[in-house]
């Protein structure tokens, strides 16, 4: 059976066109030829990834993958194609967050530009990419964190139709090298949303002052200040409420890459962990003979495959989105919050097994253990994304509607809708197809059936003992409810992808074994919340289920895990 995990040694994505395949292969080969020693040494030396940016420039990597067809001047290879953006995100994550991050913040920096109707700014960005440059996204400020309504980047009219911008930005990736820095600010004297503005700055301009790298690592997450920075009409991307929508819609596009980055990190860590543990002999036996070690590996594997299935299916909804089908707005924060926290759990399981190996200077696992913490925090924290997910819950569970089927989307299309998503409001009105359908299709898989009962239980809770008015203001209570709901959504798309791709039903059963346990765990957490009422407590206790145990199934999945020992090792 072909492995469900990405393996650089036999990676051959036949669904992509020739140039895309060449670029992805060239990226893998660049990392492999450079080797593992260099990879980890540069990580620990916190050496800026300039050599990677040089490689990307030489191969036209970012220019080809991140220039929409409308700005490609007829180049047939350039388009914004989420399937291949996701593929590169996974590959870069596989070799480390330090390489994924400059790509990611270039995507974010381009968001406000590709959403803008300003031809001069678009042309400049396309040229910058073609010349091998990178971009940055200047939204966050030192004092305001997630509160993006507040900004102290102020544009003052210069009396000649332009502005002078003054203010600071904080946590801005690529801020040391980017030729296009999309900056969010407000116009002096204009109160409220009408005052918002997105404009382009250039980090090489003399009025752009790079203060420092705020993180001690290979990536450059800058603090910068603009002092009297001249902003002309050619630099203005959006004004008024549209500038705020551009910020949110950019984050929508950008945060989709986090899950693939996390999957890549977890895959590389998995190969290293299983190869080490399976070949390490303690008391005359491989470490993997310990039942708890087997269980940890099987759990990590099931979670990793689950995450891949969900995120791959989410690509289809992302690419098929249009003004009448905004289901991606739910699946996207689930990729962000669920898949990245699952990646953290996978790394926690693997590092638990390999123990000291995940502290060694020459292990990828050491890199992974550090990097993986970042993903749930970027592009909105877990809490922020859960709060977003909750907005969709009533319609998702109780008001399904019909949609044309969404097929697998690996075609060479330009995903132009992502740059005309429109106003970011109205999330509670988005409707979904019937979630029960996917669960019905796989009711013959024992743990899918069991989990589906828990999912029905959630709907029943909301009907019979819904959150009170007080609880609806209590985010601590709601976030746990959000975790329960997220699992139902996560399971649905996994099942859809399993049907489309024919996943081994025993692996699927193992995946839902973890979900039954996770759902039980969140139910217990809800039970313990200070405000949980007696009916809610009774409901929570009733949801604690044991997964269907099947020793043969476990052995079957374990044999797939065992086969991954030695299946990949990075070139030294």
Return residues touching ligand FAD (CB under 6 A): 105, 137, 139-140, 145-146, 171-173, 215, 221, 374, 377-379, 381, 383-384, 387, 475
Q: Which of 207, 222, 133 is nearest to 172 (CA)?
A: 222
Nearer Cβ to ligand FAD (100/435): 100
The least distance separating ligand FAD from the CB of residue 380, rounded to whole angstroms, comes to: 6
Nearer Cβ to ligand FAD (105/277): 105
Nearer Cβ to ligand FAD (70/148): 148
CA gap 310, 492 in Å, rounded: 8
3-state class percentages of the chain: helix first, strand second, coil last, to nearest 5: 60, 10, 30
The least distance separating ligand FAD from the CB of residue 378, rounded to whole angstroms, comes to: 5
Instruction: Give the number of other Cβ atoms within 10 Å of residue 556's Cβ.
Output: 15
The tokens for 127 are 């040229």
For residue 8, what is the DSSP state?
A: G
Beta bridge partners of 146: none
The least distance separating ligand FAD from the CB of residue 484, rounded to whole angstroms, comes to: 17
Q: Which of 410, 407, 413 is nearest to 16 (CA)?
A: 410
The least distance separating ligand FAD from the CB of residue 382, rounded to whole angstroms, comes to: 7
Nearer Cβ to ligand FAD (137/260): 137
Backbone angles phi, psi at 73, to 5 degrees: 50, 40
Count each helix (H run) and each strand (E run) in the chain, helices first.
Answer: 20, 10
CA 404 from chain center: how many Å?
Answer: 26
The least distance separating ligand FAD from the CB of residue 147, rounded to whole angstroms, comes to: 6
The least distance separating ligand FAD from the CB of residue 270, rounded to whole angstroms, comes to: 24
Q: Which of 378, 428, 434 is nearest to 402 (CA)?
A: 434
The least distance separating ligand FAD from the CB of residue 424, rounded to whole angstroms, comes to: 14
Nearer Cβ to ligand FAD (380/547): 380
Nearer Cβ to ligand FAD (170/442): 170
Nearer Cβ to ligand FAD (312/379): 379
CA gap 320, 245 in Å, rounded: 20
* DSSP assignment string, 250-279: HHHHHHHHHHHHHHHHHHHHHHHHHHHHHH
For residue 335, what is the DSSP state?
A: I
The least distance separating ligand FAD from the CB of residue 122, rounded to whole angstroms, comes to: 21
Give the SS3 label for residue 143: coil
The least distance separating ligand FAD from the CB of residue 173, rounded to whole angstroms, comes to: 4
Nearer Cβ to ligand FAD (313/529): 529
Give the SS3 label for residue 211: strand
Beta bridge partners of 180: 135
Residue with nearest beta carbon to ligand FAD? 145
Nearer Cβ to ligand FAD (172/339): 172
Pairing of strands 221-231, 163-173: antiparallel
The tokens for 240 are 């008024």
């Amino acid at each position: 059976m072909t492995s469900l995990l990405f393996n650089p040694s036999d990676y051959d994505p036949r669904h992509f066109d020739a140039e895309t395949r060449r670029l992805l292969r060239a990226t893998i080969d660049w990392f492999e030829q450079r080797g593992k020693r260099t990879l980890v040494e540069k990580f620990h030396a916190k050496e800026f990834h300039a050599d990677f940016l040089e490689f990307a420039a030489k191969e036209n990597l970012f220019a080809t993958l991140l220039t929409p067809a409308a700005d490609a001047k007829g180049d047939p290879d350039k388009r914004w194609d989420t399937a291949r953006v996701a593929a590169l995100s996974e590959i870069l994550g596989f070799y480390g967050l330090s390489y994924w991050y400059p790509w990611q913040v270039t995507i974010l920096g381009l968001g406000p530009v590709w959403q803008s109707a300003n031809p001069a700014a678009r042309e400049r960005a396309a040229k910058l990419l073609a010349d091998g440059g990178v971009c940055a996204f200047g939204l966050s400020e030192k004092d305001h964190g997630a509160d993006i309504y507040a900004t102290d980047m102020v544009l003052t009219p210069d009396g000649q139709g332009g502005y002078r911008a003054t203010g600071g930005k904080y946590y801005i990736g690529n801020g040391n090298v980017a030729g296009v820095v999309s900056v969010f600010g407000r116009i002096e004297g204009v109160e409220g949303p009408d005052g918002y503005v997105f404009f382009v700055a250039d980090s090489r301009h003399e009025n752009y002052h790079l203060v420092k790298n705020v993180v001690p690592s290979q990536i450059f997450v800058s603090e910068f200040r603009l002092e009297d920075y001249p902003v002309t009409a050619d630099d203005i991307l959006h004004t008024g409420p549209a500038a705020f929508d551009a910020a949110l819609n950019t984050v929508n596009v950008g945060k989709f890459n986090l899950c693939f980055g996390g999957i890549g990190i977890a895959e590389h860590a998995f190969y290293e962990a299983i190869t080490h543990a399976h070949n390490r002999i303690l008391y005359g036996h491989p470490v993997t003979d310990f039942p708890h070690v087997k269980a940890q590996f099987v759990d990590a594997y099931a979670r990793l495959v689950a995450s891949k299935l969900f995120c791959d299916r989410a690509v289809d909804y992302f690419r098929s989105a249009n003004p009448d089908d905004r289901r991606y707005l739910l699946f996207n924060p689930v990729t962000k919050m669920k898949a990245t926290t699952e990646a953290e759990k996978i790394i926690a399981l693997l590092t638990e097994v390999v123990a000291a190996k995940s502290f060694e200077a020459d292990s990828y696992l050491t890199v992974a253990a550090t990097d993986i913490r970042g993903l749930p925090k970027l592009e909105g924290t877990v809490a922020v994304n859960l709060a977003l997910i909750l907005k969709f819950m009533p319609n998702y569970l109780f008001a399904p509607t019909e949609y044309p089927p969404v097929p697998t989307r690996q075609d060479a299309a330009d995903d132009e809708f992502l740059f005309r998503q429109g106003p970011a409001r109205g999330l509670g009105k988005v409707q979904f197809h019937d979630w029960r359908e996917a669960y019905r299709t796989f009711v013959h898989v024992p743990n899918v059936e069991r989990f589906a009962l828990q999912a029905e239980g959630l709907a029943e809770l909301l009907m019979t003992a819904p959150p009170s008015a007080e609880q609806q203001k209590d985010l601590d209570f709601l976030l746990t409810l959000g975790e329960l709901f997220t699992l139902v959504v996560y399971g649905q798309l996994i099942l859809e992808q399993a049907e489309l791709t024919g996943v081994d039903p025993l692996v699927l059963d193992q995946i839902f074994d973890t979900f039954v346990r996770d759902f039980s765990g969140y139910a217990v957490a809800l039970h313990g919340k200070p405000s949980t009422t007696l009916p809610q407590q009774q409901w929570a206790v009733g949801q604690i289920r044991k997964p269907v145990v099947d020793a043969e199934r476990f052995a079957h999945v374990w044999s797939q895990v065992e086969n991954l020992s030695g299946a990949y090792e990075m070139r030294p």
